[in-house]
Amino acid sequence: MTRTSARRRARGGARPDRSGGAVTQSAWTQVRYRTAPTNVLSSDQIEAIHEASLTILEEIGVKVLDPEARGYLQEAGARVDHGEEMVWLDRGLVEEKLKLPPSSFTLHARNPARNVQLGDDCAIFASVGGPAFVSDLDRGRRQGTYAEMCDFIKLVQSLNILHQEGGGPFEALDLPQESRHLDLHFAQITLTDKNWQPWGLGAERARDGLEMAAISLGCSREDLIGKPVFTTVINTNSPLQIDGPMGEGLIEMAKHGQPVIITPFTLAGAMSPVTIAGALTQQNAEALSGIVLAQCVRPGTPVIYGGFTSNVDMKTGSPAFGTPEYTLAAQATGQLARRYGIPFRSSNVTASNAVDAQAAYESQMSLWGAMSGHVHLLNQGAGWLGGGLVASFEKLIIDAEMLQMMAAAQQPFEVSDAAIGLDAIREVGPCGHFFGTQHTLDRYESAFYTPLVSDWDNYENWSDRGSKDTAQRANGIWKQMLAAYEQPPIDAAIEDQLKDYMARRKQEIHGNAA
């Protein structure tokens, strides 16, 4: 869509579709799997990938830039060349450390009603984190401000299907870079009562996240050990490198028993081999290296196996997302994570620059890969657009609809005499209809999924209401939802402590100039 048409659309979208009242949405709930996952690889093939990745760790090695990280690995028995910053892990060491992390854990929120289980048959959905730009139909793609970021976070709080704030939807470029994470964490804590993702880049930032989380829970940083309160994304620098800030962040989080999501960014054909099998093997080696490091820092630290294998367009070098290869890689990564008994992270991604059909079908391809692979943490679950460079307000709403549908498609339906309703079928008989039967009247209000943004009306009614497409309707919904937002209660003393902490840290970071 052009900027002109974006503005034109916005006039329609600015008027909420549903006047008054709250937006209709699914209730807050834990997502659980009820059908078997899809296995795209045989056990032999999974073993072949596992074995080859162990060979990589043993023979090729991983570059680890942080000396403390190399120290932990050396102490555990790894071969280390500090001059070359290289680490080699033998099979025995890897296999031993893989036994330590839990297959499932509770993720605590400052509101205990928002605690969720992550792992085994339980999944959670997180909002988009990290894009450089924000976008909506009214103003198009642009750099974001703190106020806009707060609006986005308020929507994440309002959408019941989202279990986690995913680490800041976009950069607040009106705030100084060095202390921006403090304002983000303040917003995450005070505007939501769900769990959230801190910044994991560097030991100092990691400590700020830990301190603020501890304040929010009325405890000390040390009290967080054994009580997971957030998950931190640790990306390896593919191929085969853990850089300094990532190593520091991982160590700081693991020291405090906080779950880390080790996510290699293995784009087949660029940062990994051009084959899915090769990309998965390298992904596995990198993920295992981070998992082992976390277990060396603190045995039993919860870890999450992050799968992000996709491919580049070999003509342009652009990354592709939500492709068939992405779907297959997600399903296979689920198998690898299950082999290790470690929770699996995947994502909801698209390369599309518009909130259109491609955005939806690429998201669906990645969502089905994730769900049929039994994802435990769906990171980047809602709001991602344009290859991850953009957080979109309208895509956030549309993704929430898709996630609601994914969760509903996991709900068992009752098969009992009462549900089958032979008596109703007998009563209606051939050529009748079921609208008025008692069987229908007893059940119709909750029988079916209720949509958030989908329009099921006929063409004439839809046209009469302005022929709004999904993105235009989503524009109305997020505005309606934002207008109805209510800040979750927080203890005034805790809010003051958070403000004091921020002020002190900003003083330390910026000196008097700030």
Residues 60-89 contacting a second copy, CB under 8 A = 60-63, 86
Contact status: 414 vs a second copy (CB under 8 A): yes
Residues 171-190 contacting a second copy, CB under 8 A = none
Among 459, 492, 511, 512, interactor with a second copy by CB under 8 A: 459
Stretch that binds a second copy, among 248-256, 291-299, 399-407, 478-486 (CB under 8 A): 399-407
Cα 331 to Cα 150, 210, 507: the distances in Å are: 34, 33, 47
Stretch that binds a second copy, among 118-126, 293-301, 320-328, 483-491 (CB under 8 A): 320-328
Closest to a second copy by CB, 44 or 486: 44
Token readout for 301 is 């630290």
Closest to a second copy by CB, 54 or 297: 54
Residues 224-263 contacting a second copy, CB under 8 A = 237, 239-241
Closest to a second copy by CB, 191 or 407: 407
E runs forming strands in 265-338 = 267-268, 303-306, 310-312, 319-320
Q: Is 35 exposed, middle or buried (0-12, 13-18, 19+ CB in 10 A)?
A: exposed
Stretch that binds a second copy, among 14-22, 107-115, 172-180, 314-322 (CB under 8 A): 314-322
Residues 423-452 contacting a second copy, CB under 8 A = 424-426, 428-435, 437, 439-440, 443-445, 447-449, 451
Q: Report the nearest approach of a second copy to the CB of residue 246 (Å).
A: 13
Contact status: 325 vs a second copy (CB under 8 A): yes
Sequence-separated (6 or more) residues with CB below 8 Å from residue 353: 385, 386, 390
Stretch that binds a second copy, among 98-106, 145-153, 196-204, 352-360 (CB under 8 A): 352-360
Contact status: 204 vs a second copy (CB under 8 A): no
451-455 long-range contacts, Cβ below 8 Å, gap at least 24?
451/401, 452/23, 452/24, 452/25, 452/26, 452/397, 452/400, 452/401, 452/404, 452/477, 453/397, 453/398, 453/401, 453/477, 454/401
Helix axes 324-340, 357-372, angle to 10 degrees: 20
Q: Are 15 and 476 in contact (CB under 8 A)?
A: yes
Q: Cα separation of 259 and 247, whole Å? A: 14
Among 250, 471, 481, 498, interactor with a second copy by CB under 8 A: 471
Angle at alpha carbon of residue 132, lines to 143 and 365, rounded to 5°:
125
Residues 44-63 contacting a second copy, CB under 8 A = 45, 48-49, 52, 55-56, 59-63
Site string for a second copy, 353-392 (x = CB under 8 A): xxxxxxxxxxxxx--x---x-------------xx-xx--
Contact status: 2 vs a second copy (CB under 8 A): yes
Contact status: 507 vs a second copy (CB under 8 A): no
Closest to a second copy by CB, 220 or 411: 411
Contact status: 33 vs a second copy (CB under 8 A): no
> Tell me, what DSSP letter sits at residue 272?
B
| DSSP-derived 3-state class of residue 144 | strand
Q: Are 241 and 266 in contact (CB under 8 A)?
A: no
Contact status: 455 vs a second copy (CB under 8 A): yes
Site string for a second copy, 139-158 (x = CB under 8 A): --x-----------------
Contacts with a second copy: how many residues (CB under 8 A)? 128
Q: Report the nearest approach of a second copy to the CB of residue 9 (Å).
A: 8
Among 319, 334, 343, 383, interactor with a second copy by CB under 8 A: 319
Closest to a second copy by CB, 409 or 483: 409
Stretch that binds a second copy, among 67-75, 192-200, 203-211, 414-422 (CB under 8 A): 414-422
Q: Are 123 and 374 in contact (CB under 8 A)?
A: yes
Token readout for 81 is 């060349």
Q: Cα separation of 217 and 215, whole Å? A: 5
Specify the residue for token string 């099979």.
91
Among 27, 413, 486, 512, interactor with a second copy by CB under 8 A: 413
Q: Cα separation of 410 and 377, whole Å? A: 16
Task: Kindly give the pairing relationship between strand 79-81 and strand 86-88.
Answer: antiparallel
